[in-house]
Structures are given as structure tokens and as C-alpha cells.
Chains A and B, each alone.
Chain A
Amino acid sequence: DVKVTQSSRYLVKRTGEKVFLECVQDMDHENMFWYRQDPGLGLRLIYFSYDVKMKEKGDIPEGYSVSREKKERFSLILESASTNQTSMYLCASRAHSHAEAFFGQGTRLTVV
């Protein structure tokens, strides 16, 4: 079974802090994604990566950056956390562009 593991289930951070969310997949997938999920808005794509050191902006990249130094690991960085970044963050990976995506368990981030 594919396993996508996010480093934290719950996080509470202060406004202005730099926040790192980590995601690791164990199936050698090429593509990795970061989404945020908010009530009434569904899942919105923040960034994705199709290879090591490669990244592309999704629909809502402002206030975020990403890092993919190794194939199995994709990190989401909130440069200066703000209260409007309080959300559920979901990491996903896909073997290739025709395959289904597998999701991690999510990180519920609260910025106070």
C-alpha cells in the first residue's frame, strides 16, 4: 500500500512564525502536491512538484513556498504565518499524470 505521511496531525503557531509542513511518500512517486482544504471552498492546490528540485505554482501560492530536495519528501513552508492560513493542509502523491493521487492524513494548522 502507498503511504503518504505528514509530519504533524495538529499544529498551533503564532502570527509571523515561519512554519514547515513535511510530507514523505514511500512509493517512488514522481508527482507530489500540497492542497489546503477549507469549508465551502474544497481542496485548493497550493504548489506541486513533478521531479526533484522542480516546482510549479498552483491556484493559491501566495504566502507559501515549497522544497523538494529528495524524491520522497515535499515540504511546504509558510514564510510568515498569518491567521488566514489557518486550515487543513493535505499532501498527495501520484506515480504519474494518469494515476490516482494518494493523500496523507492531513495537518490541521491553527495560526493565532
Chain B
Amino acid sequence: EDQVTQSPEALRLQEGESSSLNCSYTVSGLRGLFWYRQDPGKGPEFLFTLYSAGEEKEKERLKATLTKKESFLHITAPKPEDSATYLCAVQAGTASKLTFGTGTRLQVTL
């Protein structure tokens, strides 16, 4: 059974304080790893897809990396508007479905 574990559950940062969120996974044949951002009361918003170990993607203050066992979402010099829950999901084998972790709730304060 595919498993996705995200850590920490919650993270509080001051504006400008860089950090990383972790997503570790156990799957048979990773086809893709996806990062989403979710604001309270809204649906998840797509951020990145990573397909193979060593791959990196960047968008503004966010950078996602992938190894054979885990992915990191690095947040550089965060701002209060980066506050959200960040979700990680994997697709494995021939299945179309995505399996999600429980997310990391990020709060960035002034």
C-alpha cells in the first residue's frame, strides 16, 4: 500500500526565516510526486510535479526537490502570504489516483 508521510505537522516561521518541509513516501514504482498549496476553506492549488530522483522545480520563493525516498519543499525568505497548508501526493504504478499526505500547516508571521 502506498504511504505518504509529511513532517512537521505544523511550522511557524518569522518572515524571512527559511525552512524546509518534508514528504517521505513508500510506493511501488513512483510515477510522479505532486506538491499542492491549500488555503483554509478552499481546494488545493497545484504547485509542482517531480518525476525522477534528482529533479528540482522552482517557483518564486519555493523550490521542490526529489530523492528516491523523499521530497523537500524549501521555502526561502517566506512572507505572510505563504501561510497555508502544503500537501504532498504521489502517483504509483499504473494507477491514476493520487495518494496524499496529511499536510504541513505553515504560518509565517511578521
Q: Which residues of chain A have a CB within 8 Å of any CB of chain B?
A: 4, 31, 33, 35, 40-45, 48, 50, 58, 90, 92, 94, 97-98, 100-106, 108
Contact = CB atoms under 8 A, between A and B. Distances in A.
A42 B101 contact: yes
30 contacts: A31-B96, A33-B97, A35-B100, A40-B102, A41-B102, A42-B101, A42-B102, A43-B44, A43-B87, A43-B89, A43-B100, A44-B100, A45-B97, A48-B97, A58-B97, A97-B31, A97-B94, A97-B95, A98-B31, A100-B49, A101-B34, A101-B89, A101-B98, A102-B46, A103-B43, A103-B44, A104-B43, A106-B41, A106-B42, A106-B43
B103 interface: yes
Interface in B33-53: 34, 36, 41-46, 49
B64 to A, nearest CB: 13
A96 B103 CA distance: 24
Nearest to B6: A42
A42 B32 contact: no
Contacts of A101: 34, 46, 89, 98
Tell which of B31, B43, B100 has the most Cβ of chain A within 10 Å: B43
A44 B89 CA distance: 11
The 6 A-B residue pairs with the shortest CB-CB distance, nearest first, are A103-B43, A42-B102, A43-B100, A100-B46, A97-B96, A103-B44
B5 to A, nearest CB: 10
Interface residues of B, number: 24
